[in-house]
Structure 1
Amino acid sequence: MADAVKAVLARIKERFTDRSTPPYSIGLPGMPDGPPEPSRLPAVIRNRRHRRRLRAALREYAPTIGMAYAGRAGAPWQLGMWEPYLLASGEPCVIFHLHEKYLDFVRANSDLKSPIIQLGGHRFGDLRDVLAPSLTSLYYVQNAKNNAGYMRHRHVTHVWLNHGDSDKPANFNPRHAKYDVLVVCGQAGIDRYAKHGITIPREKFEILGRPQASDIEPARGPIASLDQPTVLYAPTWQGVDETVNFSSLERGPEIVQALADRGARVIFRPHPLSYRWAKRRKAIKATHDVLRKHREATGVEHVFGQVADKDWSVADCCNHADALISDVSSVVSDFLQSEKPYAMTTMKTGVDEFRAEYSVAETAYVLLGDLSNLDDVLDDLLKNDPLAEARSEKKRYVLGDFTGHESADAFAAYVRRLAQG
């Protein structure tokens, strides 16, 4: 009893002496953007007033859903990948953001529509002020360990979305078992956990397809019939360490040169995180240089740089392409929607081992990391395409039994159902 009284007294003291930065909002109706402005009032009083005003504004806005983010520089594309499909539900949404040092970066590099709530000096302790009573569910697109700070609040439903579907370890992390619901694209998303010894009850999973692939169109015909096929080369990033480095970016110049020599038009879209490292930027530049020189010499309109990286979405790149070369990456799962041919690089193992480890590679033409089988792979990718029939079944396994915009509609309906109880 004495300990409980001490805890209450400590919280009261904190309220009356706290000078730390309070949580604040960006884009919330009824609130100015940013932390409270300096004034003649003592910081303690100024911050208390700000907190009360923020709570009132959130009650008035009455969000029913939220995106809870505790990651870092990946926020612009990870949040941006899912926000439109959450908003399509018609439910009012708010984004909770942990690391203040990245807030300006997020705002400058994204087009988020929802109000952002930046947690203050008390970090997750600030959630008691900003989790509006109307909030029913929180969605997670990045598996930061700090997500646990949000998940301590058990009166809301915590939903794991991830930011892409692939066979990378990020798609079968044991921490995912702690979420209330795991949204996956298809049966493959469930089987990955069991394959790696992670037990999660089947009732926790919701198969909803891949909304982001809804706009990806089918092939315009057998690839061998095309006079000049367009190939999307989309290497993944290097990962957090070598154990999850699946990137072929270092071989990019050779890969796109071989495609150009075959008369193909190339779309080059590296993973956005690759631009964070000087070594990767050098490889990107070298790949750009190969395509630029070939374009100048032949007039072939290769697509790279601003257009491929920023102006076009992943779906746009897929729709402009007739085939794909990628790595272990969510781009492959998205591309499956089209049923067009694709190749995947294996940077560390042989072809058979790679296909056994990564399900989506079973219907890929597997390119060895040393490029020793590049000619054979390009023959199959651009001419023979012996795996065409098998891709249709693989698509259903990976992306679920959805066509057109059915996945996006199913996801929006699920969000509404969860929000409305």
Structure 2
Amino acid sequence: MTAVQSTDVLIIGAGPSGSCAASLLRQKNYQVTVLEKQYFPRFSIGESLLPQCMAFLEQADMLDAVRAQVEAEAFQFKNGAAFLRGAERHYYNFTEKFSEGHGTTWQVRRAPFDHILAQSAQDKGADIRFGHQLESIEILVDCVKVHALDEAQQPYQIDAKFVLDGSGFGRILPKLLDLEYPSDFPVRQALFTHIEDNIQPEADFDREKILITVHEKDHRAWYWLIPFADGRSSFGVVAEPDFFQAYQAQLAKHDPSHADSKEALLQFILADDVALSKVLAHAKFDQTVQQIMGYSANVKQLFGDRFALLGNAGEFLDPVFSSGVTIALKSASMAVPLVDRYLRGGSVDWQNDYEKPLRQGIDVFRTYVESWYQGGFQDVVFSEQQNTQVREMISSILAGYAWDTANPMVKDASRRLNALVEICRDFAQQKEC
């Protein structure tokens, strides 16, 4: 007979959104059970945090736990973002921003970072079950019946009053409940790894900023370089499939013996960008190169009877502005007070109190991501005409403050960004004339 257990809130996944939600719920003394299929620490991509994250970590009483491990885990102090396109360089300092709040954060290896958050939630009393996976759910009038497998693959059942899905790219509930639908973003893929960067002083590289490099020959493609404090970096390139296919064909002609090597392909693509190659002239590629494809996703709704979706389980845009962890933590901070109200017998308008306001910030990120790939926001970033106030407004968005509607570039993001793109392009044309 299958064992039956019970809990107040069951959370799927112990990543940032799940651990943050667990910690916030424990502050309210709820019984919290977290099912995590993997064992921590485990590798995850998405190492560049945004300053807005710091407020959510503070709220969940997790910031001190992270801060205590900064030196031991070589988390790199981060104060902005740098951009490179051929001979053009530009940067945004997040302490020079429109919005109130933190202006600095860290660049982190996600394996220890996520583990620290999970341990913090455990210390607060959350029951995190590593190696356990959800198999199916039944949403009933009075509870949600969750059917799971333990570490020994033995089945058991948990009856929960509410379920939060923080399963990230696993997207457990969207798949089980047929909530997924294709993203309207073009299919893109990424090749990435961790390297010993060996960046020399003459490279003019600021380790306190993520470096985003636009590919010199195809503005749809870009590289990330995220330094850690121990001389290593996360490095990757993002583009549409035809970009990689073209380079794969070139590599096959240039070096047939390595035509199918992801390591060779990543280095071959890097070598075709002169400016970034100078920065990484002495880098050692000493870890396996990984690939993900078609990662952007969307869902029909972020909530339903007795459940809500957190972070990437609900929607993932694109890695270009490192919004993933910020959206994950923001969703947890918004969902938990509503779960609390619901469990206390109060009325919750999940559409207007959760989905709509959460998507408002996500849509701001979406506007800038779309404009980036179309080339418009790239022209803004590299424009020689820089208004200080507008720079501070954009800096706030890049720092993660996409929900600050006091910021004009947030409140009317699409119209204002499009207007700014036209201004920058007109200025560039006049200069050429």
| Larger relative contact order (CA 8 Å, sep ≥ 6) | 2
- Structure showing greater radius of gyration is 1
Structure with greater proportional helix content: 1
Question: Is TM > 0.5 for Structure 1 vs Structure 2?
Answer: no
Structure 1 length as normaliser, TM-score? 0.30
